[in-house]
Chain A
Amino acid sequence: MTNAGLGNVLASKQVVFIGGSGGVGKTTVSAALAVSLAIHTELSVLVITVDPARRLADALGVSSLGNEPVDVDLGSIKAKGRLSAAMVDMKDSWDQIVQRCADPAVQERIFANPIYQNISSQFVQSHDYIAVEVLFELSNRGNFDLIVVDTPPSRNAIDFLDAPARMEEFFSSKLLKWLIAPYRSKVFVSAFKPFNAVAERILGSDFVAQLAEFFVDFQGMQDGFLIRAKAVSELIKSEKSAFVVVTTPSEAPVTEANFLISELVERNLPLSAVIVNRTLPKKLADREVVNAAARLEESAQEATELLVSCFRREHPDVEEELNLALPAIFSRVLSEVENCYRGLSGQVSTEVAQRTRIGADRDSIIEIPQMRNDIASLQQLSGLLEHLWS
């Protein structure tokens, strides 16, 4: 199987979204893809990450930064293009939205409202929305040829796609009007009375008043907000966008990846690739290796004897105590090797089965092997997706 060509497909896009279920490696893959694109194409690439591991953030040089992109120093890596990175900061992003959409007096009231101070992180699952908002803002600047977008962990991998629509829905909802009606006009509309009475009884009148005040102000931003939310929706749907779904080769993530893929298809959104992250070496399933394991099991005794005598020949002056223990040690080493092999090769068969479940073209499936260590340098990142280009 070859992935050559996929690199070029992705390079022809303007925005590449990286989605998948929790913990499968979205943030790592986003960074790896961005680095790889910067190396192999002449593009100016930006990666927007959501929650990079500290060492990954360090590698990208974004550890202390927020929404403002910074140039990533690729060091000794030969690159045709350029790489920048930004990290989404929820609180900053909300503040910026308010600054852009509300007039100064309203801004001040919003910032001072205790509801707003508590809201930024939870509001209508806003982290999904904020990620796309930041994308919209940065893509509008036109400084970047291609933006790779890491998506935040969410209950549902599809949530971020719906985020703009959910925001729109929220702001144009009748219920919002209901809630704030008594506070907006002097004429108390009696139809809203029961709701407000119960709400006040349960939540307390202060809170309901603050809430309503907040939404009155917030509604003032509605127009600016809706225009942006629509534009963000458009961007997601446009053919300049591409989607990459990340999964690991085990059951639950593959099920979620398939769900995400089917949602993309339903929405007519282009799936460009599926990345299967953390695969074990296929070699473990080779006939030769399987046979070796079987022979090791059958003739452990002889193999041990053979190796011990070989070792003794080579180390004639080994300490007496160790010398006596050698057969036991060798036998343990061999049986541990066999155990490791059995464990991992069982996993390899599971992986093969899971791979066939993935609901995408074989040619669009890219594998990234399980690394032995944390991925902590640009060098390591750049190696992960080398096969997109050869």
Chain B
Amino acid sequence: MTEGPAESELDSLLSKRLLFVTGKGGVGKTTVAASLAWLASSRHLRTLLCQVDAKGDLQRMFGHGHIGFQPERLRQNLWAMTMDTEAALQEYLKIYLRMPIMPRLGPLAKAFDFVANAAPGVREILVVGKLCWEVREDHYDIIVVDSAASGHVVSQLASPKGVGELFKVGLVSDQTTWMSQILSDPKRSGVCLVSTAEETPVQESIELAEDLENQTDISLALVVANRVFPSVFSKTEGEIFEWLDSNDQRGVIEKAVGKGWDGLVEAADLWSSISSMNKRYVQRLRSEVAGSVPLVEVSEVISVPAGFGLINEVAESIEAGLS
């Protein structure tokens, strides 16, 4: 046999050029995006991590100072930038109209910014355009985007299509073609949908996956079920635990460990009910969102504050789940 080892799911994920990480607010988008970028750069891929929201979460997570539009090097093979539509517009004007970069936003750019605020699709196309341009220019092997939460990302990813319909002629319209080619190519682009295993985030993920399917040409590449509480007891163990906790046995075990036993039971009880709820929702994510796309479970990481530690643990989970 001449074939090398089969390509793992992780290899295939990281062989894409443009990965949009999205999901409901607070589910762990930034954490997962940072972890994917971490994994990619550990494999010697030149990686750009781009945050679309300027909330500063990447700075906090990497313990890094200001991260602006110009990529900052975080470590070997890993750069980070913050999307900024104003700067993207200036870059755009410079590249396509050969307009010099203005030190300050001139009246023209200001007016443009105003239009971008009001007109559907303009801001979105600038964001997606910048990212696709980086892909086309081959500056990086992979770009991981910490995207806006659910609602917004669909309009961003749909923008080349939508804008193509709205803007029949003009420079922007000309460019939607090659952008669409990049986005619609599952070898090059994909969405990584993050969700916690709870009702609302899962519900939102189901809707988001439908919207992506119906309104955009980009394909789903990965589903991450984040913050899953690992299950505690097997069936027999569960029965034994119940027996332990029945009134007759209380006295016995309290003799062994003291009155605080009921606190321990409460913890185990709470943990296992959350974990079985999580299990149900992971199942729904699997059947109603992921389908044939890989799904990884990332456990709730206990007592590790947000930062390198968390990124490392989450990256390890993803790596283990996808190999």
Contacts and interface: CB of A to CB of B under 8 A. Distances in A.
Q: Is chain B found bound to chain A in the same assembly?
A: yes
Interface of A: 21-24, 27, 51, 53-55, 114-115, 118-119, 121-124, 127, 153, 155-156, 170, 173, 175-176, 178-179, 194-195, 198-207, 210-211, 215, 251-253, 280-281, 283-284, 286-293, 295-296, 299, 302-303, 306-307, 310-311, 322, 329-330, 332-333, 336-347, 350, 370, 372-374, 376
A311 B239 CA distance: 12
A194 B263 contact: no
Contacts of A288: 258-260, 263
Interface string B283-313: 0000000000000000010110110000000
Contacts of B240: 311, 329-330, 333
Contacts of B198: 374
A350 B258 contact: no
Contacts of A21: 25-26
Contacts of A343: 267, 271, 300, 302-303
Nearest to A376: B199
B118 A293 contact: no
Nearest to A325: B236
Interface of B: 24-27, 53, 55, 57, 60, 96-97, 107-108, 110-112, 114-115, 117-122, 124, 148-149, 151, 155, 162, 166-173, 198-201, 203-204, 232-233, 236-237, 240-241, 243-244, 249, 252-253, 255-274, 277, 300, 302-303, 305-306
Contact of B265 (A291, A337, A339): A337
Given A54-B199, A118-B120, A118-B166, A23 B24 contact: yes
Contact of A337 (B166, B204, B255, B267): B267
A302 B264 contact: no
A286 B261 CA distance: 11
A284 B57 contact: no
Given A175-B111, A203-B122, A333 B244 contact: yes
A303 B257 contact: yes
A286 B306 contact: no
A203 B123 CA distance: 12
A307 B115 contact: no
A142 to B, nearest CB: 33
A184 B11 CA distance: 57
Given A179-B115, A201-B170, A206-B167, 11 more contacts: A23-B201, A24-B26, A115-B120, A122-B155, A153-B149, A202-B172, A203-B171, A252-B57, A291-B260, A295-B258, A340-B264
Contact of B264 (A24, A123, A289, A350): A289
B256 A251 contact: no
A35 B261 CA distance: 36
B111 A179 contact: yes
B274 A372 contact: yes
A246 B64 CA distance: 28
Pick from B118, B121, B173, B201 the residue with the most CB of A within 10 Å.
B118
B288 to A, nearest CB: 13
A376 B277 CA distance: 13
A295 B257 contact: yes
A51 B117 CA distance: 24
Contact of B253 (A211, A307, A347, A372): A307
Contact of A332 (B124, B200, B237, B303): B237
A206 B303 CA distance: 57
A209 to B, nearest CB: 11
B258 A344 contact: no
Given A178-B111, A215-B118, A303-B256, A293 B264 contact: yes
A344 B96 CA distance: 56
A347 B274 CA distance: 15
B237 A336 contact: yes
Nearest to B263: A289
